[in-house]
Structure 1
Amino acid sequence: MNENKERRNKILISSLLFGSQVMSFMIRFAFGVVAPTLMELYHLSPKTMGYLLSGWNWSYAAGMPIMGYIVDRFGPYIVLGAGSFVWSISTIALPIAGAAVSLFLMRMIFGVGQATLVPAGAMAISRGFSIKERARIIATVFAGNQVGVAIGATVAALILARLGWQAVFYSMGAASLLLTLVWFGLYPDKRIGRHYSAQPDAGNNDAVQQISWLSLFRYRSTWGIALGQMGYLYVYFFFLSWLPGYLILERKMTLLRSGIVAALPFWAGMLGTLGGGWFGDYLIKRGVST
């Protein structure tokens, strides 16, 4: 492949994946920002709102293994594009919901769409980047989570204060739908089906090796990652779901102030994610297992 074209494709892949992360997590955090307004509007208890905030988690967690299989079968271009379309439409449709049950269903549909992000992103990166580049690219792409939440906290609070809660989801859903069209139009690797890495490393057999996913449970690193994620995500999802509501309901902050304060942990998280990725590449290049 021409070197300039290869560089251009890498920039496109990483930029589109980063944009998808930013947009999906903006929408995801926006529901927490409008939660106090919805509690007042629909007369919802904190317990009921807790169920609504968790609606995304149930479908996302259940959908991840399934989406991994589907991405293996059809590739990231089709699957992530379809997932982006699903979460965009469910976001636009959310203000139509007239009761807690329909709000919960819209959140679950959003979770199904977002479950495509990690498996599709992982395959896109493995196809387009060499092993020595991947830690840095993964960090850059998944820093979009933190950027999306940080931006979404402030933007959602601003739109909510000026235009109302429905406008938050109409505007973000429309922007996400536009990004979906950009994905289908510009993503450079439109192959459908299972293809191995386009960036194999000399002497590296991992690029072509297939293993059963059940065999992963034999490795201590798998259990270490899983247990670490359980602890990390418990705290992370509190900030993601309840931090805006806590700042408004308990700390009596204004909408705009709560949006700014709620964004701060995620700006710090972005710096940590990027730093960890660059440091991971540094260690890999020196033969250290990360």
Structure 2
Amino acid sequence: MNEVKTGNYRWTICALLFFATTVNYLDRQVLSLLHTTLEAEFGWSNTDYANITASFQFVYALSMLFAGRIVDKLGTKWGYAVAIIVWSLGAILHAKAIPLGQGMVSMLGIAGITGLSFSVVGFVISRAVLAIGEAGNFPAAIKATAEYFPKKERSFATGIFNSGANVGAVLAPLTVPWIAHRYGWESAFVLIGAVGFLWLIFWFIFYEIPERQKRLSKKELEYILTDPDQDGIVPTSSEQEAKKVSWTQLLGYKQTWAFAIGKFMTDGVWWFFLFWLPSYLKVQYGMDNTAIMVPLAVLYSLTMIGSVGGGWFPMYFINKGFSPYDGRMKAMLVIALFPLVILAAQPLGHLTFWIPVILIGIGASAHQAWSANIFTTVSDMFPKKAIGSVVGIGGMAGGLGGVVLSKLGGGLFDHYKALGHTETGYTIMFAICAVAYLLAWGIMKSLVPKYRPITDL
């Protein structure tokens, strides 16, 4: 209804964020879909693969801290552009991982170290470059959402652009194995990585901050700026950018810690699904790269329901008179219950592989619903000038949580593989994934029991 009265250009920006996030996850998932191929070619262990994925998550975690600051400094337009250029180059760099690893080992003079794998070194470096660029996606996207949407629409807009992660996760298994089978695994990295440069053209054509956006009507601009500050004054984007906020200041707020802890405890679940599910289907059900295409596409298709529905769900409580934050937290409690179904994936998995696929799909869908809302708690409580930095702090925490879960998984899988029953390792990991959200919600709620916006920055 609002679009009829005010215009709808803000949804064009949301579409750009959606497609960028799709590209982000396409590039991120190529490695996991080629894991079994590369494992056979280079003789990787589960720990080798865990080290490669953990390197991405660790660099991503550190980069998220600085990505938020860089986006705040450069502004959304150039911050996003730099991010996608770097991550697209990093994605393409995977195709040269072997000579890259050989060159690095030779340059450092460590070629004589026993057991050193050129392939692992090369892929670690490639993943690090990819991580540096990809770290800019969510700080920039959340900042753009805060610029173009009033608070009451932000979780819905976040849910829509965040569903690009699900579309990317669906498209990847439908395209990557086919490209690799027909043209080789190197071509899969190159072709998927190049898509980001196509998006960049449209970004420069259609994006500008609202006050400078000629395609935006005056009424829509007024509608976007309907959220006054504590003095009842509606600040412009340029005024919000006038002051910078230090990390030390931000870490002094419980709201920052609530967001960071929530991300630390739950982001690793999504990373685990993204990086290990193809291997799980091969280990437990003997599926090769082409056989997993349909199950993974179905699984990640379910997550689109969670992403969009999760963004809409808080409106039910907000329309009943709750503040945006309080309504969001009530919705997140309900969402946190759904991953518990993952506990049944292994006990019932012997009946058919579709049972764990569907149950994990429900859990992954809940994660996307959770993600749409936890991101928006930042714009609920912090002024626009601090959003990129707070998202960066939380992103760093989430990345570190991913490192912990990935390393734990790799160690468990190698341990139980040696004992002859790798499935026990997956049972343990699925149990951790199932309960993570309820634990995270409890900690977040204890830190920030009620809506407490930051008004003194």
TM-score by length of 2: 0.57
The equivalent of 1:79 in structure 2 is: 79
Alpha-carbon distance, 1:219 to partner: 5.1
User: Cα distance, 1:213 vs. partner?
Assistant: 4.8
Contact map agreement 1:136 1:277 (CA 8 A) in 2: yes
Closer, same or farther in 2 for the Cα pair 1:258/1:122, shift >3 Å? same
Q: Bigger CA drift: 163-172 or 207-216? A: 207-216
Match of 1:109 among 120, 123, 129: 129
Per-residue CA deviations over 1:60-106 (Å, capped at 9, x if unaligned) read 11011111111111111101111101111111221111122121111
Distance in 2, Cα, partners of 1:82 & 1:218:
30
1:1-290 paired onto structure 2 within 5 Å: 7-98=7-98, 99-189=119-209, 199-201=224-226, 203-205=228-230, 208=235, 213-217=247-251, 220-288=254-322, 289=326, 290=328
Give the aligned residue type for 1:95.
A
Which ranges in structure 1 are unaligned for 5 or more consecutive residues? Answer: none
1:14, distance to aligned residue in structure 2 (A) = 0.5
How big is the shift at 1:58? 1.1
Q: Deviations over 1:141-191 (max 9, x none)?
A: 111112211221222122223322112111101212211222223323399
What is the one-letter code of the residue matched to 1:180? L
Is the 2:32–2:274 contact (alpha carbons within 8 Å) kept by the matching residues of 1?
yes
When residues 240 and 112 of structure 1 are mapped into structure 2, their CA distance, relative to the original with a 3 A threshold, is: same
Question: SS in structure 1 opposite 2:313?
Answer: helix
8 Å CA contact retained: 2:148, 2:210: no
Give the CA deviation at 1:221.
Answer: 4.9
More divergent stretch after superposition (105-114 vs 143-152):
143-152
Q: Residues 152 and 190 (structure 1 numbering): CA distance in 2 closer, same or farther, change over 3 Å?
A: farther
Instruction: Give the letter aligned to residue 103 of structure 1.
Output: F
Please give the alpha-carbon distance, in whole angstroms, between the structure 2 residues aligned to 1:136 and 1:268: 17
Does the 8 A contact of 1:125 with 1:137 survive in 2? yes
Partners of 2:150 and 2:225 within 8 A in 1:
yes
Which whole-Å CA distance do the structure 2 matches of 1:16 and 1:173 have between them? Answer: 17
User: What SS does the corresponding residue of 2:209 show, helix, strand or coil?
Assistant: coil
Q: Which moved more, 1:250-259 or 1:167-176?
A: 250-259
Displacement of 1:108? 0.5
TM superposition shift of 1:285: 4.0
- 1:256 match: secondary structure: coil
Does the 8 Å CA contact 1:81/1:180 hold for their aligned counterparts? yes
1 CA distance for matches of 2:132 and 2:204?
A: 19
8 Å CA contact retained: 1:26, 1:153: no
Separation in 1, partners of 2:301, 2:257: 29
The CA distance in 2 between the partners of 1:213 and 1:283, in whole Å, is: 32
Q: Distance in 2 between matches of 1:157 and 1:81?
A: 29
Q: For residues 117-138 of structure 1, what are the alpha-carbon distances to aligned partners after superposition, in whole Å with 9 as ceiling and x for unaligned?
A: 1111111111111111111101
SS in 2 for 1:97: helix
Give the letter aligned to residue 95 of structure 2.
P
The answer to whether the Cα contact below 8 Å between 1:89 and 1:177 also exists between their aligned partners in 2 is: no
Q: Matches of 2:274 and 2:129 in 1, distance apart?
A: 18
Tell me if structure 1 keeps the 8 A contact 2:150–2:227: no
Q: Structure 1: which amino acid aligns with 2:81?
A: G
Q: Which has the larger radius of gyration?
A: 2
Q: Quote the Cα distance in structure 1 between the aligned partners of 2:303 and 2:194.
A: 27
Q: TM-score, normalised by structure 1?
A: 0.87
The alpha carbon displacement at 1:215 in A equals 4.8
Tell me: CA distance 1:202–1:38, structure 2 relative to 1, closer, same or farther (3 Å): closer
CA distance in 2 between counterparts of 1:221 and 1:23 reads 31
Q: How has the CA–CA distance of structure 1 residues 257 and 86 changed in structure 2, closer, same or farther, with 3 Å as cutoff? A: same
CA-CA distance at 1:55 after TM superposition: 2.1
Measured in 2, the distance between the counterparts of 1:169 and 1:263 equals 19
Which runs of 5 or more residues in structure 2 are unaligned? 99-118, 213-220, 329-457
State the shift of 1:232 in Å.
Answer: 2.2
Whether the 8 Å contact between 2:160 and 2:308 is mirrored in structure 1 is yes
**Aligned Cα RMSD in Å?**
2.7
